[in-house]
C-alpha cells in the first residue's frame, strides 16, 4: 500500500474578466485510491481582487491518500464561477490539472476555458448575462469527446501543491 500526501493551497485566479470570483474544486480519484484524511472537494469564498491582480481564494488543500495502483492518478477539476453586481452566479471557466508524479513543491497554473454558444446564445450572454455550460461535465476530464466543443480562454488558476509519496516502490507499474 502506497501513500500520497497532497498538501497545498488554491491561491487564486488571475486574468478573468469578471472581478468577483469563486472556485469549486474536486479531486478525482480512481477506484484503487482511498482517502484516509482530508476533504477532496470544496467551494471557495467569492473574492473581489485588486485591480489587475489575482483574486484571492487562499483555500487549503490537505489530503492523505492510499493506493494499490498508480492507474488513474488523481486529478484536480475546477469550476470557476463569477458573481455580478446583481448577485447572479455565472460560469467563468472550467479547468483540469494533473497532479505531478514527482515529490516536491509545485507551483501549478491551470488555463481555464468556457464553452462558446451559437450566435443567439452569445448575444443573450452579452445583453442579459448567463453563459452556456457543459451538459456533461465529465468532458473536462476525458481525453476524447472534445472534438465538437468550441471554447474560449477565460483566465488562469494558480495553485501551490506539495506532493509527498511513500511506499511506491512496492506498487506495480512505477519505478522510482
Partner 1 sequence: MQKDSDAFTLTINGSIETAEYEDCSALAAKLMIVFKKDKDTCNWEIMNGNDQCTTQLSHRMRGVRVSESFAFNQPFFAALRGSSAHGWPQLCFSFMGPDMFGRNIPRGYAVGHVPMFPGSYTIELPIFRPKATSMMQAITSFVQGHHTEFKNPSHSLAHNFGRDRVRTKTHGFITVNLTVALGPG
Residue at grid coordinates 467569492? 46
Min CB(115)–partner 1 separation in Å: 23
With left for phi above 0 and alpha for psi between -120 and 50, is residue 62 left, alpha or beta?
A: beta
Over the window 97 to 136, marking each residue x when it contacts partner 1 by CB under 8 A and - when it does not, the resulting string is: ------xxx-------------------------------
Map the footprint of partner 1 across residues 20-79, applying CB under 8 A: 20, 22, 36-39, 42-50, 53-56, 58-64
- Inter-CA distances, 65 with 4, 8, 60, 160, Å: 5, 14, 16, 18
Report how far residue 7's alpha carbon sits from residue 138's, in angstroms, rounded to the nearest whole number: 25
Which residues sit at the interface with partner 1, rule CB under 8 A?
A: 3, 5, 7-9, 11-12, 20, 22, 36-39, 42-50, 53-56, 58-64, 83, 103-105, 160, 162, 164-166
Amino acid at each position: 500500500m502506497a501513500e500520497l500526501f497532497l498538501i497545498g493551497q488554491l491561491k487564486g485566479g488571475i486574468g478573468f474578466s469578471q472581478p468577483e470570483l469563486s472556485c469549486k474544486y474536486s479531486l478525482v480519484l480512481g477506484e484503487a485510491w482511498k482517502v484516509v484524511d482530508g476533504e477532496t472537494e470544496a467551494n471557495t469564498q467569492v473574492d473581489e481582487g485588486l485591480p489587475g491582480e489575482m483574486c484571492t481564494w487562499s483555500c487549503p488543500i490537505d489530503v492523505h491518500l492510499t493506493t494499490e495502483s498508480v492507474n488513474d492518478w488523481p486529478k484536480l477539476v475546477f469550476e470557476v464561477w463569477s458573481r455580478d453586481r446583481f448577485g447572479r452566479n455565472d460560469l467563468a471557466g472550467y479547468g483540469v490539472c494533473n497532479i505531478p508524479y514527482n515529490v516536491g513543491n509545485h507551483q501549478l497554473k491551470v488555463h481555464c476555458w468556457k464553452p462558446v454558444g451559437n450566435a443567439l446564445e452569445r448575444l443573450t450572454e452579452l445583453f442579459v448575462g448567463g453563459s452556456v455550460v457543459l451538459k456533461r461535465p465529465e468532458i473536462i476530464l476525458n481525453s476524447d469527446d472534445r472534438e465538437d466543443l468550441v471554447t474560449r480562454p477565460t483566465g488562469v488558476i494558480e495553485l501551490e501543491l506539495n506532493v509527498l509519496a511513500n511506499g511506491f516502490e512496492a506498487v506495480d507499474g512505477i519505478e522510482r
